[in-house]
Amino acid sequence: MAPRVAIIGAGFGGLCMAIRLERAGITTYTVFEKAGDLGGTWRDNTYPGAGCDIPSHLYSYSFENYGSWTRRYPGQPEILAYLQHCADKYGIRRKIRFNTEVVSAAFDGNRWQVTGATGSAGPSTEAFDVVVAAVGQLNRPHLPDIPGMQDFAGTSFHSARWDHGHDLSGRRVAMIGNGSSAAQLIPHVARAAARLEVFQRTPNWVIPKPDAAFGPRARLAFRYIPGVQRVYREWIYRYAEAALYPALAQGWSTDLLRRRALGHLHRQVPDPGLRAKLTPDYPPGCKRVVIDSAFYPALTRPNVDVVTEKIVRITPEGVETTEALHPADTIIYATGFRSTEFLAPMSVTGRDGLDLAERWRAGAEAYLGISVPGFPNLFLLYGPNTNLGHNSIVFMLECQVNHVMACLPHLSAHGPMEVRPEAMAAWTRRLGAAMERMVWQDGCRSWYKTADGRVTNNWPGTTTLYRRLTSRPPRAAYRHV
């Protein structure tokens, strides 16, 4: 009998899982989605300029070519439209339970009791054989803990919760943060606002984004000539693996990346004072490199300032630093996400009452980023140590879904399966050794690691290696309980 599968989240990962189940003829699944629409991060991040710095043809499912991409790097509306297209084409929408947040999942020795809360209807519990958690790493906004934030008299919001009803024109805007989200936002805010002050705690390495619209001939070729999309995708993929990955592995190519980023800074920022403020003092790649060609020019506008003074508090009037009070009408928190709190705030209880949050107290970990000992038939997509600094997460998601699909016949035939502790320990050792040579380890603070410096988010190998590891038959690493 086909297993009953609960998929949590209707973003890139959850939809991929659902489509693969549909294509395998398994329709006994439910997708739980806490929001009223699908799309995950691409539904939530609607700020002006939101988009992806991985090329469109690679930031999409390998099995679902799309003739409608209009440019090399997709904007948020296009990505959301792509996901909606996929959900509709494969008939997934009818299987999504919208506005239902999974608050807990508990293994009862045989099945998972999944409890979802739907608005005022209150929680209800259903049994599933398998749980696939596809909640992402960047789904919960991080708001900083700055004294006085509640006292601000103007309007404030997080970049991932954009207030579309708030008109920025004529306003004095303070933006806290200067990561990838801020970099995309700043050119738009700078054009609209009277004044923009960007509060930068740490400068980022920035490289150009060679974006361009596809011309009519390219679009026709992508749409109608068989194989063109596949070859183009393969080329981008190989370039990322061969040219970008080595830069993160602390070799000569890190210096190449540094030179490329410094060249970009010199070309775009003529003022040496501003250039000095924007020059990082840690290795490129340690934090996620910002890929953007409009960010630096926006910072050179006469109505924009980069403030590097330490923020002391927020007052009703604006942002107070160690040097001055910076009056503001609007504060935008482009301060990232609670990336190391995987699966929170869901309560997940495994075999013999094991609590997942407790097991992960020193930092989240999972075999292949997918399975955790003591949690049979629970699979994670975009779980611990599966994020990348150089290639497409969608590729990683497909590898993870392949692995889950390979497990399903075993657990259907022989009962719930969990990863063996020995396999987990070997995985942790392997990860630790590979991590040693990666550039994320030391020299910077980033969303890739916990407060005490453990890298819980990133995968330290190539994606080609990850594909190979996840496509091994799962039997040897798992046991039935």
Binding mask 240-279 toward ligand NAP (x if CB under 6 A, else -) reads ----------------------------------------
Closest CB to ligand NAP among residues 186, 407: 186
Min dist. Cβ of residue 145 to ligand NAP (A): 7
Min dist. Cβ of residue 331 to ligand NAP (A): 12
Stretch that binds ligand NAP, among 170-178, 211-219, 413-421, 467-475 (CB under 6 A): 170-178
Residue 176 contacts ligand NAP per CB under 6 A: yes
- How many residues bind ligand NAP (CB under 6 A)? The answer is 22
Min dist. Cβ of residue 103 to ligand NAP (A): 26
Whether cis (ω within 30° of 0) applies to the bond prior to 345 is yes
Min dist. Cβ of residue 202 to ligand NAP (A): 3
Binding mask 386-415 toward ligand NAP (x if CB under 6 A, else -) reads ------------------------------
Closest CB to ligand NAP among residues 213, 433: 213
Binding mask 197-216 toward ligand NAP (x if CB under 6 A, else -) reads ----xx--------------
The binder of ligand NAP chosen from 15, 18, 21, 52 (CB under 6 A): 52
The binder of ligand NAP chosen from 311, 431, 438, 455 (CB under 6 A): 311
Min dist. Cβ of residue 412 to ligand NAP (A): 36
Closest CB to ligand NAP among residues 3, 177: 177
Distance CA 235, CA 308 (A): 40
Lookup: tokens for 42? 């691409």
Min dist. Cβ of residue 181 to ligand NAP (A): 3
Residue 288 contacts ligand NAP per CB under 6 A: yes
Which residues of the shown chain bind ligand NAP in the complex (CB under 6 A)? 52-53, 138, 144, 146, 176-182, 184, 201-202, 288, 311, 334-336, 445, 447
